[in-house]
Amino acid sequence: QVQLVESGGGLVQAGGSLRLSCAASGRTSSIYALGWFRQAPGKEREFVAAISWSGGSTYYADFVKGRFTISRDNAKNTVYLQMNSLKPEDTAVYYCAAGRYSRSLTGSEYDMDYWGKGTLVTVSS
């Protein structure tokens, strides 16, 4: 089992920045990739970004390219999501997820095996 704990959410004005963190514990050796998803009120959960745990390959949803950056610190078993130029439409609960296989980089939530409880990001206009 892998446990994931997100932190770093909060209230920020439009145009501002936040950095989310996701600390992994447990059987972290089984992780192939870590990703961030988000769910806005009344909407389905959607893929934001993912990173392979060993090679560091990154993948982004089109709507965050150039604004968000995913990174990892293997020594700390932590993945980060740096979010810049935030918009009100970025308001959502952001979830960290981990997958054990290469398909976990596809951006599908169904290919992720472990989930955190989420952290709320609110962007005011």
In tens, the pLDDT along 75-89 reads 999 999 999 999 999
At 69, is the pLDDT very low, low, confident or very high (cuts 50, 70, 90)?
Answer: very high
Q: Give the contacts of 18 (CB within 8 A, at least 6 positions apart).
A: 8, 9, 10, 12, 83, 86, 121
Average pLDDT value for the chain: 95
| Residue 39 near residue 30, CB atoms below 8 Å | no
In tens, the pLDDT along 24-66 reads 999 999 999 999 999 999 999 999 999 999 877 999 999 988 9
Predicted confidence at residue 65, as pLDDT, reads 84
